[in-house]
Every structure is written in C-alpha cells, then in structure tokens.
Structure 1
Amino acid sequence: MRTKLAQVPIPSIGLQSARIAATLLTMNAYKNAGSISIYLSMPSGEAVTNDIVKDALTQHKAVFVPFIDNAVSRNGGSLIKAMKMDMVSLASIDDFERTEENRDRWGIPSVAPESVQGRAKVLRVGASTAHDSSGGIAITAEFERSAEATLDVVVMPGMAFDRNCGRLGHGKGYYDTFLEDYRDSKVGASEKAHFGLALCEQVLHEDETVPTNQDDWALDALVVGDGSIIERKPNIF
C-alpha cells in the first residue's frame, strides 16, 4: 500500500482532497460541531486537509491538531517516558499557515514546540520545555487531565481503510492511544464522531478488510476521494 500511495499523482490528490472537503463540509456532524480535531497532511499519499482546517477556523470552531512529544507519565511511583500524541489548539488561519515552517520528522506541518505551552490542549496540562544534551528542545508533561477542551468531531488519517469503516494506521498507534486516553478522561467522550478521510486508492475492495484488534477504534464514517461517504451505521450523518 505504501508503494501504491507514493505513486498517486499530486494533481489527483488535490482533486480528491477537494471532493472530500466539499462532502465533509455538508455533513451535519461537522456543521454542528463546536470543536474538531483534524490531522495536518503528509507531503504525499493522503488526503490534504487544508481546506477543511481553514473552513473550520473561518466558522469559529475550536480547531485542534496533533502534536507528538516526549511525554512523561506517572505510573504509581514510577515515571515512564514515551512518544505520545495530544491535540493542541490553532488560533487562526495565520497560525495554521505558520505550521508549514515547522514540519516534523515525517514532513508533516506542526505547531512550533516552543508555542505548545501557550495553547489549549485536549489531554494534558503543565507541559514544559527544556533543552536536551544535543541542543534540541524536549517537551515533557505529566499526564494531568485537561478541562480546556472537548471534541465533537475527530478527523483521522490512515494508510488503508475497508468498507466496514475499519482503519489501518501507520503503525505507531498514536490515534488509538489518544482516543483511549480521551475516553478515559472526559465525561461523554464517547459521543464524538470519528471520521476518516481516504483517497480512492486507500479503500480496499469489498471482500477485503484491514487487520484490527481490540485496541483499534472503528470509524463512524469514511469520506472518500470520489465524494462518497461510507457509514458504519446507515444514515447517521
């Protein structure tokens, strides 16, 4: 699948992304949402979310985007360090456009690490920055639960999707872990809608399914690059 996606022409990604955005923006779950978390796009191989992000900000929705850091969690008396994902707020379209200047190791636009402490976060508070021995910036955080934000819609990327709204991620488990932490920390968190965005090339044939286990979160709906919607339950969006 990675090889297949790497070969999707950029003009095709642009056209499919425009169709996806046009469809998502008409969905009641999106129109009624006061807050949304949405991924920022890799340089190739997945639907581009720029138009959706800008629309949400223009509509004065609270917009949250992924930020992955070296987080320190407390387990009993022990501290455990691991790469974890939280969602942090965007303030404006200008703020969103500045993410192009801070691409991460995968080439994905990201907020500047030094700006994270001043942003609203979905999961944790008290993040602090420090310079590590190599001169880089390390972000650490205790896993306190934030009262700053709740989410109405979560828009997720993936590498492949099936027609039962199964999602295959990129192997890091960031979204599954984030959603589990969010569910455990928010009253009513299970009520949010989970959407996936898929290029046509990412959707498997009718007789194929993505591999899943009990830790994987199913989507409520999948918006496809031809403008169609695949729903886990009919007519809910």
Structure 2
Amino acid sequence: MTVSPLTIIRRMSTNEALRNAKQELRAAVAKRLATLDVESVREQSRAVVNLLTNLPEYQQAQRVSIYLSMPMGEIDTDSIVRDAFEQGKQVFIPFTHKATSAPMQGEDPKPSVMDMVSLGSLEDYQGLKRNSWGIPTPTRKSLETRKNCIDEVKNGKAGLDLIVMPGVAFDSECRRLGHGKGYYDYFLRRYSEEAGGKMPFTVGVALKDQLLDPPASVPVGDKDWSLDMILVGNSQVVRR
C-alpha cells in the first residue's frame, strides 16, 4: 500500500504533538514531586505495599515482576520484593541493555530494550549494585545464570502472573506515562506476541502527586498500554 506524502506529514505532526504533550506533563509532575519530602514517600510507599499485598491478584500470583525503585520520586518497592520472597514467589526485575535483535514488525529500531530477568533469592537482591540512577541492577555477567521471562514463554514455559510498574503520571482510566524511552510498552508488546495475547495482570503504583485529577488525562498513542489497576499512596485504588 502506498502512503501519500500528505498522510506522512499528518502523522509526523500528530506524533510531534503527542511527544510535546507528554514532555509538558512530565515537567509538570516533576515540579510536584520536587516538593515531596522523604517521610511522605515512605508513608505513601507503606500504604501502597499494604494495598498490593492484600490484592487477590498478587496473593495468587506465583511469578511476579517488580521494578526496583530510585531513591526518590516514586513508590519504594523494597518491601514488595521482600514480601514476594517471603511468600515464596519467583521474582523478576527489569534489565535494560542494547538491542541485539531486529525490531518487531512496524516498530522503529530500538537502541536499547528491557527484559525481565529472575532474582535468585533475597540475598541475590541485597547484593545488587546501584547504577547511575540509584537503582539496584544485576551485572551483565550474572545474566548467564538468570531466567529471562520472554525466553521462557518462547520455550513454552510459564510466563509472568503480575507486573508491578512505575510511571511518571497516571490517570483515572489507568493510562500511564513513562519516562519517554518506551521500555515497558515495547516489553509488553513483545511479551504479548510471544504469549499469544495472554498477558499478566498489570499494576501501576503511584504517589498521590502522580495521579491526575479528572478530567485531566495522560496523552497516549496507539503503542501505549493501559494498566489493569493503579494503587496510589493515599490508599486509592483505580481499576480499569
């Protein structure tokens, strides 16, 4: 099918407007978060952990993916990781690396992609070193002994049951704005393709300053994934 030059120009204009709207929202939320103190983040994190660990979807999940949090500006997931191990769950965490394979059909080339790799134990988690963002991160060498959840799905093994996801902003329709790299959206598209559309339950966790008040909404495009649920630091639960 031939696409006309006018159609291409319109698409470029729409994509640019979407990028600009997302960047403006990221900047606005960053200003809000800059005023938060450490104790507020701790209190909100405790509230979210309590909500999550009491969810039937979490309690029933055996294989969970949990992002490892930055020191500030988002819900602290340390207690979630520890609870998951205490409950005997298999824990997977994000690992970002240079793309080594061709992009999916219809996707632009990706300089880097995110996979979910296994943590062997609580001691394994505690031994991770922090990267330049302050996020505990496995070494590339350790990947030789870690499971990759997409590889396991490709080989017909069990996938993930639940994913705990970060974000910059969220809205009342369970839309999510990330940091702009598209890591989670691309991961979910890859996972969906390999799993035949069978997806984990997705839970966003948010500080109260990251949830937009209606009618404000997160600007999204056709490659942005909505979540199944958002848990907020003021003990609010948002379901899609």
TM-score by length of 2: 0.82
1:56-75 aligned within 5 A: 56-74=84-102
1:90 aligns with 2:158: no
1:206 aligns with 2:202: no
Answer yes or no: is the 8 Å Cα contact 2:103–2:110 preserved in 1: no
Q: Aligned to 1:181, which of 190, 208, 217?
A: 190
Change (3 A) 1:157 1:10: same
Q: Name the structure with the higher helix share.
A: 2
Corresponding pairs, count: 208
Gaps of at least 5 residues in structure 1 are 126-143, 233-237
1:114-125 aligned within 5 A: 114-124=141-151
Q: Name the structure with the higher strand share.
A: 1
What is the identity percentage for the equivalent residue pairs of Structure 1 and Structure 2? 41
Q: Aligned to 1:222, which of 230, 235, 240?
A: 230
1:25 aligns with 2:33: no
Q: Distance in 2 between matches of 1:67 and 1:49?
A: 16
Q: Deviation digits for residues 45-69 of structure 1, max 9, x if unmatched?
A: 0000111111111111111000001
Structure 1 residue identity aligned to 2:175:
G
Q: Deviation digits for residues 153-191 of structure 1, max 9, x if unmatched?
A: 01110000111111000100000000000000114522x
Answer yes or no: is the 8 Å Cα contact 2:230–2:237 preserved in 1: yes
Gaps of at least 5 residues in structure 2 are 1-28
TM-score by length of 1: 0.83
Answer yes or no: is the 8 Å Cα contact 2:170–2:176 preserved in 1: yes
Q: Distance in 2 between matches of 1:30 and 1:180?
A: 22
Answer yes or no: is the 8 Å Cα contact 1:23–1:227 preserved in 2: yes
Structure 1 residue identity aligned to 2:149:
V
Could you say which residue in structure 2 is the equivalent of 1:110?
Answer: 137
Answer yes or no: is the 8 Å Cα contact 2:64–2:160 preserved in 1: yes
